[in-house]
Structure 1
């Protein structure tokens, strides 16, 4: 399809060149301008298409690399490129996916995933507990501050009471001596 569009654009360009040699007019300039716009749009679309192909190729390459790593078959980037260029990567990975090693690796990955989900759940519960404790500490902070303040005042009152009691005992002894 892209070749067809490119061929049509080249045909239009040749026709415009032939017509331009015969006459120069406003209509010819408009047609050349339209051709230039179409050519630019074609190049833009083809560039985006190429980028999409490269992106898809890289994602496929990464997926194949991960499959190979999971099954324990290490390959270099060059070997992977050769598989992709040769077109036999699908056959190679199909054999890996069907092997018992990959099924075992898949079950290990699933088990790890379940463990990670459980760990994540535990961490979330722990986080929620810390949030609850922080809220309790904040809400009861004033009460704790008041209790601490009252205890400090109580110490002062007790010390004063002890001193007053000693004075009272002294006054009582003096009063008893005077009256006797």
Structure 2
């Protein structure tokens, strides 16, 4: 598989992407589709990483030991970091494809609105749509983690204190992760050991959620930057399609007008022939009625 960032320079890669075939005179899109396949594989890797994160998050809900939660947090941090790196790489590669598409439009017969240009633009926008869908799924995961973290804090608070936590208490636990002051009453009633274990869990979950949330927010920003390009490129493609459709409409209209003109021309010729025939017939009848040859004989 040819990688988009192999040893050749960007200008050389662009020239390869728009290389003309020797016999057919068409554009060779082999390199373009090879680069597309690389990005497609990266997008599949992103989906796989998201699936792993979902599994890790589900597993975290069954853990209550702070050390186990810390180990799992390390795994999740690594997965999110990998997804962030992959997303940035996809962004760079998509931008490289945009430059390649721009270079392709300078080739005769491959300008804006041409079949090759529409193919390239449509494929790149298809990749961006996949990336946008992936962004939405990562955002759903981030929101799910935040909501379930809140539920876990409420549940652990009830387990330790036997009371339902007020919204302000839960907000304080979530925002700071510092639970010793809030659970001071429970420490006096149930003993420090049991409560400290719950506090350690809450604090570890807080650290895990905040770190993963920070990385997911950074990942989301990469996606947002690319989403802007998706909308812009989508508008460009629709504009190109509109021009092509209008041009096709003009061609169809011109063809229809030409056909009407041809019919009129044929009708004009037909009526001209009929008129000439009638005129000749009238002359013939007039000659027969006058019979000028008989007058010559009388003279």
TM category (shorter chain) comes to: 0.3 to 0.5
Larger relative contact order (Cα-Cα within 8 Å, sequence gap ≥ 6) = 2
Answer with 1 or 2: which has the greater Rg.
1
TM-score by length of 1: 0.42
